[in-house]
Amino acid sequence: SGPVSGIMPGRMPGSEAKILQSECSVCHIPYLESSVPFPIKLVKCGQCGRGKVPDILLTTVEPPPMVEILGQGGLIQARVLRLKKDLKGENNAREVSDALPFMEYEIHRQLVNKLKVKG
């Protein structure tokens, strides 16, 4: 949801408006570098110098305009197909729910591999 009563997100109301977090923090990893759950290359944020950012950032929306992006964006497609049993109701929902994490992982793997090939 958007701003409430004209207050900009991330800003305190009043004449002494302070930034609660840096504008680039949306790109920072949300955990310690030592506890990264998957193999990625991390570098120090080039904008604020405080946070760590991944070398690849997959998004489903345009990044905020105030975030500096190095390199050029492009379109890469991935497809995953799985056979689904002909189930009804709750059993159908359970089968789909059980398969989703594996499908997400496979899509992520394909996208990262295609990015590496593309350079």
Asked if 23 and 45 touch (Cβ cutoff 8 Å), the reply is no
Q: Tokens for 62? A: 């345009």
C-alpha span between 46 and 49 (Å, rounded): 6
- What's the pTM value of the predicted model, to 2 decimals? 0.59
The whole-angstrom distance between residue 84's C-alpha and the CA centroid of its chain comes to: 28
Q: What are the pLDDT digits (tens) for 44-86?
A: 988 888 889 888 888 778 877 888 777 777 788 899 998 889 9
Which of the four pLDDT bands, split at 50, 70 and 90, describes residue 91?
very high
Separation between Cα atoms, residue 100 and residue 73, nearest integer Å: 27
